Chains A and B, each alone.
Chain A
Amino acid sequence: MADVVKFAKPAGFFDTFVRRPGPIKKNMHYCPGCGHGILHKLIAEAMADFKIKDHTVLIAPVGCAVFAYYYFDCYGVSSPHGRAPAIATAISRTNPDDVVISYQGDGDLASIGFNHILQAANRGENMTVFFVNNAIYGMTGGQMAPTTLPGQVTQTSPWGRSVEETGYPIKVCEMISQFEAPVYVERCALSTVPNIMKARNAVRKAIQNSMNKKGFSLVEFLSGCPVNLKMNAEQMNAFLNEKMTKFFPLGVYKDVADERAPVHHPVPTFDREKVIETLYPQAFDHAVEDNFRYKSPVFQKECKVKISGFGGQGVLSLGHVMAVMGKLRNFNVSWLPSYGPEMRGGTANCSVVFSHKHVGSPQADYNCDLMICMNQPSVDKFLGQLSPKGVLVYDASTISNPPTGPEQTVYGIRASDIAAEMGNQKMANSVILGAVIQMMQECLMNEDEKDDLDRAVEAALNESFASKPELAA
């Protein structure tokens, strides 16, 4: 004769709670009269009925339900206090076909992790949140919760919750339902049979929304904690039905799932060609062989270049073009900008270091070989960093008579004036670049290298402005 099972666990639970350490494998750890047991059963039934056990991830909170994953026959993960919505977000995005349940208590959701739940709701993550509100901290021993009622005595409100000092109970459903993105928000109570039947429907609706990828659903459950509230069953139900519902009215706060299209998220690609095309840069013409080296003596040692001026003068892009030239001609090169608030108005400078060997310090802050100054404060601040035999190139439109040393070589270029005459003051950096190139060709290079330098400049401009071809032209 077949066994007759009168009362059995829903199939959404493990038959034996193997994840639970210790000898007790058949019972839950919850206290008598606790709402978690009821809600667990409603969820387990729904998971079994909807046949989603093999692709549901349950996120267990900190609080009494910290061990929820002992019981549910699905994937489980334990969350730091309040962070479950962030974890749920990631799992929902990475496993978009899974049902992701964030199971949270009142301290977890409405206090320490409040921002996370608001933001996940506002992003409309495809997840189901079951929020257990029992107006008290259970696991930690009966302290005040964000949902503790005014006047309610707890360990940390021993004379009753004072609204003057601690404010009013936080109304989560009322808040979440104000956002655009969430599709379903309802508050239920785990008290009377009719209320529990409503809660059962709410659980199912929320899970179905997740299965249909409709986005964010939250169901709040007013729930008993007779041990910490020091009540018997009758008092507990009266507290839920008469006192809590006054502050936390039951009902549907939002239900727009039918109007919403399913959420779609991208699928990662690991196609080698697509990755190469996206990350590897275009190889421009005018490249040289890997063993190409300029022969001029100036390039046989590390070269330090400092470029400075006002923010907006193109100081950094001038340095960048030079760095690209170096890269294209097989130098090891570093380009170091000033950054941060300095960049938002005020002065800007960058260091470019070229070497055929390993570049040591990327900072051109002493013995610079070439210094380009595009305003007076730059001369005042940086000229001392120029090598005694270094080269100074400055904008003679704005700087007069920089106090250089006897062995330094100095070129004053009316860069801003020339740029203005050409119709665009912003081109002063290009004028300077032209001057530097000509200086290098005349003073430092042989005939072959002169021609090659022109090609390197052209290639560097093309590469630097590859995303803005009109500027390169």
Chain B
Amino acid sequence: MKRTNKILLKGNEAVVYGALLAGCECYFGYPITPASEIAHTAARLFPKLGRIFIQAECEIASINMVLGASAAGRRAMTASSGLGISLKQEGVSYIAGSELPAVIIDVMRGGPGLGNIAPEQADYNQIVKGGGHGSYKCIVLAPGSVQEMCDLTVLAFDLADKYRTPVYVLTDGMIGQMMEKLELPEPKGRRPLPEWALNRECPKANCIASIYLDTGDLEKVNIRLNKKYDEIKKNEQRAEEYHMEDAEYAFVAYGISSRMARTAVDELRSEGMKIGLIRPQTLFPFPADALNRAVDRGVKEFFCVEMSNGQMIDDVKLSIECRRPVTLINRMGGNVPSVEEIIQAVKAKLGVK
């Protein structure tokens, strides 16, 4: 039978395809809207390829299963939405402290509390700033399309291994639920067992822990971890720039709100405004270099489009050391800012009719 790599998938399904093509061996998760299609698809496809799917008893168990499988040398993942991720934070801190690779998908929904199941981007702080206890960071990838839901999931596994650290794919209910055409990447084989794994093919002295009672020892560990995060900041910043060559103004937006901002760029450009878009594909490390290049090239003002109370905007301001005004254009409660709203907000701020 003839096969094609072109396929129409929901964002949530594309995550699972990406994971399997990246050689992910285990999925552990607990159902939650709007991330459930990830569990549904994983339940169907992982066992078909002999890989492991467990519906865990809770979010806490699923992240600890990821810890266990990763310690055993397997590529492992879990997925949830904001409130489930809140529960996982303990485990993520342990994974970061134990320096294990792991991939975690957060399909954001409205909060705080039970909130609603509409898309929001208000998990930014809990995901990008650490979220659990201790001085650690996770790499955070922010897909802007279904294609990237697949591609960045593949990348997440590679970065998790490269830096032995948890990697989030931070997305939202709308990208999770929407279907787009994508091209599937080539399947990868099994990742070779890492030498630190708890596996009979690895040295028996192997031991995975994050406890250091001696304060000097623990400080050394923290210093090492933070050197690693500096490396990540240096090597792994990713951002897509759209019409930034001659831009006097720039949107900064990730995920679904970047899609609205992109259309707003097209419409404002058709009216003669020189505006562009910087779309962070990594939130940690935040693409400070791209923003600073924009400042150097003459961007006069930035507009942050966010579906939160303004969480990424802090990183924009810090990155450019407040050298330019940064204005927040936002909606909350599960509302997606419309292209019209975004355009009106820019015009109002700049006093353009």
User: Would you call A19 and B173 a contact (CB within 8 A)?
Assistant: no
**How many whole Å from B235's CB to the nearest CB in chain A?**
27
User: Would you call A77 and B207 a contact (CB within 8 A)?
Assistant: yes
Given A91-B69, A327-B8, are A119 and B200 neighbors across the interface (CB < 8 Å)? no
Query: A60-74: which have CB < 8 Å to B?
Result: 60, 66-67, 69, 73-74
CA–CA, A266 and B49, complex, Å: 9
Q: Is A248 an interface residue (CB 8 A)?
A: no
User: Would you call A360 and B263 a contact (CB within 8 A)?
Assistant: yes
**How many whole Å from A181's CB to the nearest CB in chain B?**
14
CA–CA, A310 and B266, complex, Å: 34
Contact of B48 among A278, A324, A335, A358 (CB under 8 A): A278
Query: A352-397: which have CB < 8 Å to B?
Result: 358-363, 365-366
CA–CA, A97 and B5, complex, Å: 36
8 closest Cβ contacts across the A-B interface? A360-B263, A90-B68, A87-B68, A78-B209, A86-B64, A119-B57, A75-B198, A283-B4
Query: A113-156: which have CB < 8 Å to B?
Result: 115-116, 119
**How many whole Å from A299's CB to the nearest CB in chain B?**
16
Contact of B338 among A79, A268, A366 (CB under 8 A): A366
Contact of B209 among A69, A119, A275, A363 (CB under 8 A): A69
Q: Is A272 an interface residue (CB 8 A)?
A: yes
Q: Is A39 an interface residue (CB 8 A)?
A: no
**How many whole Å from B179's CB to the nearest CB in chain A?**
4
User: Would you call A83 and B2 a contact (CB within 8 A)?
Assistant: no
Q: Can you offer 12 A-B residue contacts whose CB atoms are under 8 A?
A: A78-B210, A80-B64, A91-B71, A94-B26, A268-B190, A270-B189, A275-B49, A279-B45, A282-B1, A327-B6, A331-B181, A363-B174
Chain B contacts of A340 at CB under 8 A?
33-34, 117-118
Q: Is A88 an interface residue (CB 8 A)?
A: yes
Interface residues of A (CB under 8 A from B): 18-19, 21-22, 53-55, 57, 59-60, 66-67, 69, 73-80, 83, 85-91, 93-95, 97-98, 115-116, 119, 265-270, 272, 274-283, 287, 320, 323-324, 326-327, 331-337, 339-341, 358-363, 365-366
Contact of A282 among B2, B74, B199, B259 (CB under 8 A): B2
CA–CA, A278 and B46, complex, Å: 10
Q: Is B298 an interface residue (CB 8 A)?
A: no
User: Would you call B68 and A89 a contact (CB within 8 A)?
Assistant: yes
Query: B139-195: which have CB < 8 Å to A?
Result: 146, 173-174, 177-181, 184, 187-190
User: Would you call A337 and B177 a contact (CB within 8 A)?
Assistant: yes
Name the residue of chain B whose CB is nearest to the CB of A53. B204
CA–CA, A326 and B71, complex, Å: 44
Name the residue of chain B whose CB is nearest to the CB of A279. B17
**How many whole Å from B88's CB to the nearest CB in chain A?**
11
User: Would you call B68 and A88 a contact (CB within 8 A)?
Assistant: yes
Name the residue of chain B whose CB is nearest to the CB of A265. B52
User: Would you call B338 and A363 a contact (CB within 8 A)?
Assistant: yes
Q: Is B61 an interface residue (CB 8 A)?
A: yes
User: Would you call A366 and B190 a contact (CB within 8 A)?
Assistant: no
**How many whole Å from A334's CB to the nearest CB in chain B?**
5
Contact of B72 among A90, A115, A266, A363 (CB under 8 A): A90
Name the residue of chain A whose CB is nearest to the CB of B146. A334
User: Would you call A86 and B68 a contact (CB within 8 A)?
Assistant: yes
User: Would you call B52 and A93 a contact (CB within 8 A)?
Assistant: yes
User: Would you call B57 and A115 a contact (CB within 8 A)?
Assistant: yes
Contact of A272 among B68, B187, B340 (CB under 8 A): B187
Chain B contacts of A89 at CB under 8 A?
54, 61, 65, 68
**How many whole Å from A364's CB to the nearest CB in chain B?**
11
**How many whole Å from A440's CB to the nearest CB in chain B?**
20
Contact of B340 among A265, A335, A341, A366 (CB under 8 A): A366
**How many whole Å from A358's CB to the nearest CB in chain B?**
7
CA–CA, A57 and B34, complex, Å: 36
CA–CA, A89 and B58, complex, Å: 13
Q: Is B47 an interface residue (CB 8 A)?
A: yes
Chain B contacts of A269 at CB under 8 A?
49-51
Name the residue of chain B whose CB is nearest to the CB of A360. B263
B 196-208 binary contact with A (CB < 8 Å = 1; else 0): 0011100011111
Q: Is B60 an interface residue (CB 8 A)?
A: yes
**How many whole Å from A132's CB to the nearest CB in chain B?**
19
With A278-B45, A283-B2 given, name 7 new contacts (CB 8 A). A22-B214, A89-B61, A91-B198, A270-B189, A339-B34, A363-B338, A366-B339
**How many whole Å from A330's CB to the nearest CB in chain B?**
9
CA–CA, A252 and B267, complex, Å: 75
